[in-house]
Amino acid sequence: MEWVFERMIYVKEACKLVSKSIEGERVSICFPLEYKTAVLVYELSKYVDLKVCKFDDPTTKIEAVRWLEDKGIKVRRKEECLDSDYFLDCVAALTRKALKADKSVAGVIELTKSGVDNLKSLHAKKVFRKAISIDDSELKGKGENIYGTGLGLLDALIRLNIMLPGKNIFIIGFGRVGEGCASTLKKLGCEVEVFDKDKLRCALAEYMGFKVSEVEDGLRRADIVVTATGVDGIIDFSNIRYIKNGAILCNMGAGRYEIDLRNLEGHQKTEISEHITKLSGQNHFYVLSDGRSVNLTMGNGTPLEIMDRTFALVAFALEYLIKKEFTGIIETPKEVEERLAELIKLKES
């Protein structure tokens, strides 16, 4: 934890720069509570009335929780975090809780594309007045998703102690996260195939040298299957029969049930280890972390230098959210991204 804290320089500076604008504001944060998130929480807590909760148990690092508690910061239940004026949210977890509790919030900063999709319906129900999508930014949407998350996937797969070069990898979903995962594994010498329902993305994948396959065909050949769609049920009872015997399935998307194991009749589950489940029936295969985001549950997530920049962007976006008047959901304003770019340039010089 101290290693991460020492190296996250941008988020510390960004929080200082916005401190006067955000001082005393009531803010709740619900991001996967791992080491980098803990640093963001600690830095923001110096200036705002902050409440923090776990996103879920599997993505929570207990060392990060203890580090925060040692600094006097209590980790709460989501229900205890709904009275703040501003949410820093992931997959709209807090905002959806607010709807169920019949509460509203002034503004939301959303970290993921799946969360923005949720916010679009929640705005019509007047759960919040204004929101900023961090995922639509260049520095987070491209910088983190393309160049960072693939390394988070690699962190998880290496822990299986298997040889990756030469393996056939099937990536389902060729958005920014899928592209990053595919590119990282291709550089390692893996044979990478991809699928996306968007034909334009498929064409772009071919330009990058990836083989594009239909889901059933990709499942038949893949040694490792990676979902990155944000859509539940991309793998379920309707297509598991195509999965190659011995294949490993894992999720890198924001959808909780992209690999949907809830209605798999005829398959027996065996817990191989904390993060590996074997399913046996007409075929047998392995699922990592029960289908949750494997980079956060098995690995340590996106590299800390990248998350340092993403969380600095969150700090600048929070200031904008508090100070500026607008309604609805907007992309990260260019001036917010330019502040981060200037900070990076200043620190590097």
Q: What's the average pLDDT block by block, 10 residues per block, for the chain (349 residues)?
A: 96 98 98 97 98 96 97 97 97 96 96 92 93 93 90 96 98 96 97 97 97 97 97 92 97 92 86 95 95 94 95 98 97 96 88
Predicted confidence at residue 254, as pLDDT, reads: 87
Predicted confidence at residue 265, as pLDDT, reads: 76
Give phi and psi for 338, each to the nearest 5: -65, -35
Hey, what are 234's tokens? Answer: 């991309």
Predicted confidence at residue 141, as pLDDT, reads: 85
Predicted confidence at residue 91, as pLDDT, reads: 93
Predicted confidence at residue 280, as pLDDT, reads: 94
Predicted confidence at residue 266, as pLDDT, reads: 79
Tell me the CATH number for domain 149-297: 3.40.50.720
Q: Which residues contact 141 (CB under 8 A, 6 or more apart)?
A: 134, 135, 176
Region(s) of the chain under CATH 3.40.50.720: 149-297
Hey, what are 267's tokens? Answer: 């398959």
Predicted confidence at residue 21, as pLDDT, reads: 97
- Counting residues of the chain whose pLDDT is more than 90, the rounded percentage is 92
Rounded distance between C-alpha atoms, residue 75 and residue 84, angstroms: 15
Rounded distance between C-alpha atoms, residue 340 and residue 347, angstroms: 11
Predicted confidence at residue 143, as pLDDT, reads: 87
Region(s) of the chain under CATH 3.40.50.1480: 2-142+302-348
Predicted confidence at residue 261, as pLDDT, reads: 87
Topology of domain 2-142+302-348 in CATH is Rossmann fold (3.40.50)
Q: Alpha-carbon Rg of the chain, whole angstroms?
A: 20
Look at residues 75, 123, 115, 76 and name the one whose alpha carbon lies nearest to residue 92. Answer: 115
Helix, strand, or coil (residue 230)? coil
